[in-house]
Amino acid sequence: MKRRSVLAGAAAVAVPFSAPFRADAQAAYPDRQIRMVIPFAPGGTTDLLARAVGQHLQEKWGQTVVADNRAGANGVVAGEIVAKSPGDGYTLSTVAMGHAINPLIYRKLPYDGTADFTPISLLATFPQLVLVHPSLPVKTLAELIALAKSPPKPLTYGSGGNGSSQHLAGALFAHMAGLTMTHVAYKGGNPAQLDLMAGNLDLVIIQPSAREIVTSGKLRALAVSSTKRSADYPDVPTVAEAGLPGYQSVAWYGVVGPKGMSADLLGKLSDEIIKSVATPTVRTVVFDEAHQLNEVGVQFLGQQFSTAQVSRRSRPASPNAFSAACTASTSARWSLARSACVRRCG
């Protein structure tokens, strides 16, 4: 698998904790199996990142890290498991942007999206591709928009769930292009991608799980969602270049734990997860667009998360940077997408 880009910055967030974590306990940690709860189905970016980071921790600490896929409700099922776990470092979870979006689109959650979690590390940010099935009679984004505006029925677009980055990217695209499209939610981005490949959807805005899916012609890329072209797809224009000025959608991924994690434990986990980002095991999960995407990702985070201070290839200067990142959904850029889908997600 080719490599995507990794934002090697991560943030350790100092939060109040309910139980003391003694120095001797930190020295012993971990002394048993760690569970990595994954909020989506196997095969997607969140799953692949979780397994790669888990492998690094397992090799470093000599304790088994179990991948526990708990897909459903755009991460709410997994989120409830983590929120109700003790903050002892033995339950962790990878999260995507939907973790920040869920409190705004679901009327009731079984947890507090901020207070019940400890942000540990930002893992990666990268853009998405507007992908269509090759049988769809379009070769450009302009042709896709024209087709979507023609009768008899709306086009369908898939996502990893209500409120996922793919859902909001699609809703924002439809809003800015003046389209009516039918959203189909899955329990993860990979099932949506597979259904697109099977011809059961018209398009998905997603980061493909393998570059070969595009280069082999299994799916057709019409545009990239970032403000700059992708180094892996240099011939694919940005959405803005292709006719929608101002459009931008960049997904982010991170690691969280339950509330109540001590500063010492948090530091140990954050330090090791930061190191894992630089390893070949983790870097093979994402395409090698490091220079372009680190810059784009940092600019995006700075725009989206007004209090985040993310430094490329280093730990953010602000200890609250990843916590701020988890409030991405409050940004003005996503308000249009959120308003486009909020009535359907309650």
Interval 47-67: pLDDT, tens: 988 999 999 999 999 999 999
Within the chain, all domains assigned CATH 3.40.190.150 are found at 23-126+249-337
Tell whether the model's pLDDT for residue 38 goes beyond 70. yes
Tell me the C-alpha distance between 138 and 155, whole Å: 12
Task: Average the pLDDT over 253-258 and give the result.
Answer: 90
Looking at residue 25, its pLDDT comes to 53
Task: Sheet containing 156-159: give its strands across.
Answer: 182-185, 156-159, 203-206, 129-132, 220-224
Q: Where in the chain is the domain with CATH 3.40.190.10?
A: 129-238
Alpha-carbon gap, residue 285 to 118, rounded angstroms: 24
CA–CA separation, 21 vs 172, rounded Å?
44
List the structure tokens of 296: 């784009």
The pair phi, psi for residue 127, each rounded to 5°, is -80, 175
Higher pLDDT, 132 or 161: 132
Radius of gyration of the chain (CA): 19
All residues at 6 or more sequence positions from 97 whose CB lies less than 8 Å from its CB, including other chains: 164, 165, 168, 251, 252, 328, 329
Q: Is the per-residue pLDDT at 293 higher than 70?
A: no
- Per-chain mean pLDDT for the chain: 76
pLDDT at 103 over 80: yes
- How does 157-170 read in b/e, with b if 16+ C-beta sit within 10 Å? bbbbbbbbbbbbbb
Residue 105's alpha-carbon distances to 55, 75, 113, 301, 331, in angstroms, are 34, 13, 12, 21, 14
CATH 3.40.50.150 fits 129-238, yes or no: no
CATH code of the domain occupying 23-126+249-337: 3.40.190.150
CA distances from 182 to 12, 154, 174 (A): 39, 6, 10
Structure token pair of residue 10: 């991560």
What pLDDT score was predicted for residue 326? 40
Averaged pLDDT for residues 188-211: 89
Q: Are 13 and 269 in contact (CB under 8 A)?
A: no
Fill in the DSSP letter of residue 238. B
Q: CA 203 to CA 195: how far, in whole Å? A: 10
Pairing of β 129-132 and β 34-38 = unpaired
Confidence at residue 192, expressed as pLDDT on a 0 to 100 scale: 92
Please give the share of the chain, as a percent, with pLDDT higher than 70: 74
pTM: 0.67
- Where in 166-284 does DSSP place strands (E)? 182-185, 203-206, 220-224, 250-258
Which of the pair, 253 or 283, is modelled with greater confidence?
253
Q: What's the Cα-to-Cα distance from 85 to each of 110, 163, 208, rounded to whole Å?
A: 13, 24, 32
Instruction: Examine the pLDDT at 297 and tell me if it is beyond 90.
Output: no
Beta bridge partners of 65: 34
